[in-house]
Amino acid sequence: MDLTGEFTLDAGITYLNTASAGVGPRRAVDVLRTAVTAWSDGSDDWVRNELVLNTTRAAYARLTGVAADRVAVGSSVTTHVGMIAGGLPPGAEVVLAEGDFSSLVNPFASRPDLTLRTVPLEGLADAVRPTTALAAVSAVQSADGRVADLAAVREAADRHGARVLVDATQAVGWLPLAAGAFDYVVCGGYKWLLAPRGVSFLTVREGAEDGLSPHFAGWYAAEDPWDDCYGPVARLARSARRFDVLPPFLPYLAGSASLGLIEEVGVEAIGAHDTALAERFREGLRELGHKAVPPGARRSAIVAVPGLGDAAERLAAAGIRLSVRAGNLRAAFHLYNTEADVDLLLRVLAR
């Protein structure tokens, strides 16, 4: 995948850490620089910023296969998960995957009046039962890159009358995902969508609006925010925009450019590229005598290797940026990576 000119990575850095944060493309950096200048010299334009914000909303909707009016924006996955946790009645049962990311888990755990059941990822669908109100799971596990069997979870939830919340932060941008198949999908845009921190999305399936707490609604959630921004909001937006949490504009201005790049290249093409590099790394690991965590329901762009966490310092000295999560060495491959990056990683590990 030749994206020469789209990224300005330092020549001494091999960046394999998109699962922590993506690298901003040049086009997004240029937009951000212009926006910072406008912010600093008084020429900033709120109307233009709102238009770009809604352009970003629409781009995310296209990437996840839903209408733009099904997408709410914010700055944090946890806030939108908190809306869902806050909307559950006392005693409601929530099924979660063991070791899932805290931004998805903690809003539910912070409510002692909920019943939480935590089960192995592979058993999540089987754990849904008639008493379950919500099954919540990350599409791709942050700690080790395992891909959840979302179709099985959806089928089990439909069978028992439960709703499904998916955290797609580690998925959207490389893993095709039809957000409309689930009641709620949350996604932080600063990883695989290559946006700055502060870009976050929530999709709400039509008919599932009653499952979110209204206590987070501010003036920007009004049907007409500019005419209804004093005192109690008279009328919340009819669309999912009623769940908007007014986001910071600067990240969204840059994020619009980043999502534009993802759309241009295409999620299917990016996914094929990313997972091919991950499989190259897995094969190389086997030849070195190491065993990666199995990827789960399908191939993953994230590879976690137990027992190699102590190699991170040596890799960093060689300019290779990756991470250690849950004791695993974690490498994540995205559209700015090449086979040469994988081969360098393997050579350093082999020393």
Confidence category of residue 64, pLDDT binned at 50, 70, 90: very high
The token duo for 144 is 């080790």
pLDDT at 265: 97
Among 133, 78, 153, residue whose Cα is nearest residue 110: 78
DSSP, res 11: T
Contact 147, 298 (CB under 8 A): yes
Q: What is the pLDDT of residue 351?
A: 84
For 117-176, write each residue's pLDDT tens digit.
Answer: 999 999 999 999 999 999 999 999 999 999 999 999 999 999 999 999 999 999 999 999
Confidence of residue 216 (pLDDT cuts 50, 70, 90): confident
What does DSSP assign to residue 324?
E
Helix H or strand E encompassing 14: strand 14-15
List pLDDT tens digits, range 289-327: 999 999 999 999 999 999 998 898 999 999 999 999 988
Q: Tally DSSP H helices, then E strands, for the chain.
A: 10, 12
Query: Which backbone phi and psi does 196 adopt, to 5 degrees?
Result: -70, 165
Q: Which domains does the chain have, with CATH numbers?
A: 14-25+265-350 (3.90.1150.10), 39-264 (3.40.640.10)
pLDDT at position 214 is: 79
- Cα gap 205→341, rounded to integer Å: 40
Q: Taking residues 4-26, what's their average pLDDT? A: 94
Torsions phi, psi for 293 (to 5 deg): -65, 130
Alpha-carbon distance values, 258 to 29, 44, 196, 304, 309 (Å): 9, 21, 9, 26, 31
Kindly report, residue by residue over 182-214, the tens digit of the pLDDT: 999 999 999 999 999 999 999 999 999 999 987
- Looking at every residue in the chain, the average pLDDT score rounds to 95
Q: Is residue 4 predicted with pLDDT exceeding 80?
A: no
- For residue 254, the model assigns a pLDDT of 97
For 85, other C-beta atoms within 10 Å of its C-beta total: 25
Task: Give me the amino acid identity at 333.
Answer: F
CA–CA separation, 170 vs 190, rounded Å? Answer: 10
User: What is the Cα–Cα distance from 288 to 346, expressed in whole angstroms?
Assistant: 8
* Model pLDDT for residues 37-46, shown as the tens digit of each residue: 999 999 999 8
Three-state DSSP state, 70? helix
Going by pLDDT thresholds of 50, 70 and 90, the confidence category of residue 90 is: very high
